């Protein structure tokens, strides 16, 4: 069914990096979500009125909120697919994240309302009834939601969409919550135990947990989360496969929405090479990054001395001392300025995020270590990078 819908409504379905194709996937997911959730809301709302069960009614309004979320997702993908303009030179891709955040907040709001209604039912229980049509509606709902979980998950995987991933997760949570309601109705039908209010609380907790996860998934890219490590490794591998490049550092990836990345990095090259030749190689690398990873790349060339024995040996000694202080530290852009009274060793010290110590104290410790451990009058001039 999933493949049939995609084949019918998404042209050039395999070109998922294309913004238009990606937008088509998002629109398809939104339309399917609206249709399915409105259908489920109508069925469960009818069953809730028939039985008087707050758990079924809560589940119905959960589906209604999902339909509203699908409308927001549909609008978000529509805006995200707009091309760049004068006011938004990097496009509108982050609107997908904003739409996803709105979906997540709607889920949380619905969860709190369901929780409140369910607690009232626990404190003031009311009689409920069961019928065959109620059980049929709940079973159909579980099956439909499980298919929606597979459908949305398939789209999320194809287009790498956090919004669709959150929608898929929400559909799976709906399966579990509806299954719990179904179980509760079976218990009441056969044993007479009224668990309606408690099951309503369980449904509300599933809704709130799903909303919390969705909020976190949407806030991370909006706040500027660390880039995907696989993408960074692929960029490094591609750049370093060129013989002219002997090292890279200071990779920065800006995410302006799926398929809209701005990348900058420093490439170390031999200082003896012709500048025009190096420039041509950098242009070629930038074009390859665009073609293979849809990254608009800017590469800064760092000339590195490769034939001065004293500089190379000193750099190796400094690297060893830095690593002995903390193996997670590294250096780059190493230079050496020799004078009559002392020698300055100048370099960038890279400190990973998450380290408990302060950068200033690390710099001072490294400077003291170089002064103490290296023979000769060496002074370190250090610039700190955080990665």
Query: What is the arithmetic mean of pLDDT over 304-317?
Result: 90
Q: What is the pLDDT of residue 294?
A: 78
Report d(CA 237, CA 285) in Å as an integer. 11
Asked whether the beta carbons of 349 and 328 are under 8 A apart, the reply is no
CA 212 to chain centre: 15
The tokens for 321 are 């001392």
Report d(CA 57, CA 44) in Å as an integer. 6
C-alpha distances (whole Å) from 250 to each of 75, 90, 267, 299 are 37, 22, 9, 10
Q: Which helix (H) or strand (E) holds 32?
A: helix 19-51
The tokens for 30 are 């939104």
Asked whether residue 258 carries a pLDDT value surpassing 70, the answer given is no
Asked whether the beta carbons of 72 and 80 are under 8 A apart, the reply is no
Report d(CA 62, CA 36) in Å as an integer. 13
Torsion of CA 199, 203, 205, 209, to 10 degrees: 160
Asked whether residue 81 carries a pLDDT value surpassing 80, the answer given is no
Extended strands (E) in the chain:
247-255, 261-270, 295-304, 330-338, 343-351, 378-386
pLDDT in tens, 124-180: 887 788 889 999 999 999 999 999 999 999 999 888 787 788 788 888 888 888 888
Asked whether the beta carbons of 166 and 207 are under 8 A apart, the reply is no
Report d(CA 91, CA 340) in Å as an integer. 55
Nearest alpha-carbon partner for 96 in 211, 227, 260:
260
The tokens for 222 are 């909006």
User: Which residues is 264 bridged to in the sheet?
Assistant: 252, 298
Start-to-end CA span in the chain (Å): 45
Asked whether the beta carbons of 334 and 318 are under 8 A apart, the reply is yes
Torsion of CA 51, 55, 60, 61, to 10 degrees: 130
pLDDT in tens, 20-71: 788 888 889 989 999 999 999 999 999 989 888 888 888 888 888 788 778 8
Query: What is the arithmetic mean of pLDDT over 364-387?
Result: 87
Q: What is the pLDDT of residue 357?
A: 67
Q: Which residues contact 86 (CB under 8 A, 6 or more apart)?
A: none
Q: What is the pLDDT of residue 11?
A: 86
Report d(CA 99, CA 213) in Å as an integer. 15
Provide the whole-model pTM: 0.63
């Amino acid at each position: 069914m999933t493949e049939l819908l995609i084949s019918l409504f998404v042209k050039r379905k395999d070109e998922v990096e294309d913004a238009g194709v990606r937008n088509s996937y998002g629109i398809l997911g939104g339309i399917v979500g609206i249709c399915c959730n409105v259908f489920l809301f109508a069925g469960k709302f009818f069953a809730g009125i028939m039985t008087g069960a707050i758990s079924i009614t809560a589940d119905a309004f959960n589906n209604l909120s999902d339909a509203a979320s699908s409308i927001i997702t549909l609008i978000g993908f529509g805006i995200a697919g707009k091309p760049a303009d004068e006011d938004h030179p990097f496009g509108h891709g982050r609107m997908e994240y904003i739409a996803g955040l709105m979906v997540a907040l709607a889920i949380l709001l619905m969860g709190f309302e369901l929780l409140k209604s369910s607690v009232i039912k626990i404190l003031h229980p009311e009689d409920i009834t069961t019928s065959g049509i109620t059980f049929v509606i709940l079973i159909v709902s579980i099956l439909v939601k499980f298919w929606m979980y597979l459908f949305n998950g398939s789209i999320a995987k194809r287009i790498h969409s956090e919004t669709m991933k959150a929608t898929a997760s929400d559909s799976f949570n709906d399966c579990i919550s509806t299954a719990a309601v179904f179980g509760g109705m079976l218990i009441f039908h056969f044993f007479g135990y009224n668990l309606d209010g408690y099951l309503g609380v369980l449904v509300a907790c599933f809704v709130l947990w799903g909303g919390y996860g969705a909020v976190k998934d949407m806030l991370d890219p909006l706040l500027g989360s660390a880039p995907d490590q696989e993408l960074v490794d692929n960029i490094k591998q591609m750049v370093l496969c060129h013989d002219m490049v002997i090292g890279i550092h200071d990779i920065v990836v800006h995410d302006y929405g799926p398929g809209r990345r701005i990348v900058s990095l420093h490439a170390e090259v031999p200082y003896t090479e012709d500048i025009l030749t190096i420039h041509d190689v950098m242009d070629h690398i930038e074009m390859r990054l665009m073609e293979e990873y849809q990254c608009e790349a800017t590469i800064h060339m760092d000339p590195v001395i490769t034939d001065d024995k004293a500089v190379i040996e000193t750099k190796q000694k400094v690297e060893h001392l830095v690593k002995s202080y903390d193996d997670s530290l590294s250096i780059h852009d190493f230079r050496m300025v020799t004078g009559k009274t002392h020698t300055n060793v100048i370099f960038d010290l890279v400190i990973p995020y998450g380290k408990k110590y302060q950068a200033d104290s690390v710099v001072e410790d490294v400077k003291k270590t170089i002064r103490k451990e290296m023979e000769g009058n060496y002074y370190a001039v250090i610039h700190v990078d955080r990665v």
